[in-house]
Structure 1
Amino acid sequence: MTSPQTILYARVSTSDQTVEHQRSQAEKAGFTLDQVITDDGVSGLSVPLKDRPGGRRLFDILRQGDTLVVRWVDRLGRNYQDVSDNIREFIRKGVIIRTVINNMTFDGSTQDPMQMAVRDALIGFMAATAQAQAEANREAQKAGIAHAAQVEGKYRGRKPSYTQEQLHTILGMTGSSVSEIAKLTGLSRQAIYRIRNDPAAASAALQSWSQT
């Protein structure tokens, strides 16, 4: 019988995201990784986990007692039904799912009905949040593109101090404090406040500078 493994799943969907960054975040959080499985350039909103090459591999190799590590549940997907179904399927197999952001754990070890109800409600909430944030990011990006088109050829202001991945991280950590986000992203508190207060403008700044 093989020993339980700890496997990081890293989904990369934009040019600013990297597998190495997700790996280093996990290692800094204290995870010792046996394998890293990736999907590069794959949408989490329109492509189900089982239809991605890396996602299919997860279902093939994960066994009871293994730990699946993800930066946050949005790496598994951005579709509510897909994310919640996959998390429940993994925990039925005896796989423990842990997130780097907020250090959350989902497993099937408890048999207490109340704890199971709380766990399942939390899974549903996290999956719904992942989809809602994807849609919010998409709207912010649309607004940013429109704004960038309006100001093209004009003064664009200072180049943003953050990347697209950092922007997505900040918008995704809705329940986290500014201090927690600053520690994770390395950005200043002031930059995080500006992004939170006007995500469309933050996206617009990135879009404007990306056109050069």
Structure 2
Amino acid sequence: MTIYGYVRVSSTDQNEQRQLIALWEKAVEKNNIFMDKQSGKDFDRPQYRKLMRKVKLGDLLYILSIDRLGRNYEEIQNQWRVLTKEKGIDICVINMPLLDTRQCRDLMGTFIADLVLQILSFVAQSERENICKRQEEGIAAAKARGVKFGRPEKQIPENFAKLVIEWEKKKIPLSEVLKQCSMSEATFYRRLREHRIQKKY
């Protein structure tokens, strides 16, 4: 039997140390820990796929919490089935002792584990949906207050009109205009269109 661990953090900014410490405390060797740094909305993860190729009948997989498998109710249920039924491995969810397939091999134990799994995977998906909803509401409220998102608008220099005239008369090359304006070519042409529209009015 080989003992594996799986870690997932939702982005490169999230700290994975808490999950790693929990796995090390279970004596999982470092080279048997697979870690992905990306969203849990699906299972298209390089390290998870590599783990799936490695595990075999009788192996043990540790994860800190059920939402490390993902946050979609159906996918969590499906992956649990693939790991335990098709791969034939044991799973231990460290922060939920009831979800330890080594401890629930009788009918009642299996029933309790399945029930807990369904509840937790449902809660994980609900939490994800609530987070997304709160983010959308927060962005809408911020926009209503006048908060602008994205990069700040590139300001045009005071001599922009003069530079445009000289460029149009071929007195200076476009590269020199871009340099003096500190703009990319795409930004220059966009601001040029805006400038010409303003001149009309």
Q: Common fold, TM-score beyond 0.5? A: yes
State which of 112, 117, 125 in structure 2 corresponds to 1:118.
Answer: 112
State which of 43, 55, 64 in structure 2 corresponds to 1:62.
Answer: 55
- Give the letter for the 1:31 counterpart: K
Q: Does the C-alpha gap of structure 1 residues 63 and 147 become closer, same or farther in structure 2, counting only changes over 3 Å?
A: same
Q: TM-score under structure 1 normalisation?
A: 0.58
1:33 corresponds to 2:12:
no
2-side partners of 1:16 and 1:78: how far apart?
A: 19
Aligned residues: 144
Q: Which runs of 5+ in 2 are unaligned?
A: 149-201
Give the SS at the match of 2:14: coil
Q: Which runs of 5+ in 1 are unaligned?
A: 154-212
Q: Does the C-alpha gap of structure 1 residues 145 and 59 become closer, same or farther in structure 2, counting only changes over 3 Å?
A: same
- Give the letter for the 1:61 counterpart: K
Q: Using CA pairs below 8 Å that are at least 6 residues apart, which structure has the higher relative contact order?
A: 1
1:10 corresponds to 2:7:
yes
1-side partners of 2:81 and 2:71: how far apart?
A: 16
**Pairwise mapping of residues 1-212 of structure 1 onto structure 2 (< 5 A)?**
4-27=1-24, 30-34=25-29, 35-41=32-38, 43-45=39-41, 47=42, 49=43, 51-92=44-85, 93-107=87-101, 110-149=104-143, 150=145
Give the SS at the match of 2:96: helix
Q: Deviations over 1:33-65 (max 9, x none)?
A: 121111122x212x2x2x321221121111233
Contact 1:79–1:130 (CA under 8 A) maintained in structure 2: yes
Contact 2:99–2:116 (CA under 8 A) maintained in structure 1: no
> How big is the alpha-carbon RMSD for the aligned residues of Structure 1 and Structure 2?
2.5
Contact 1:83–1:127 (CA under 8 A) maintained in structure 2: yes
Q: CA deviation at 1:128?
A: 1.2
Q: TM-score under structure 2 normalisation?
A: 0.61
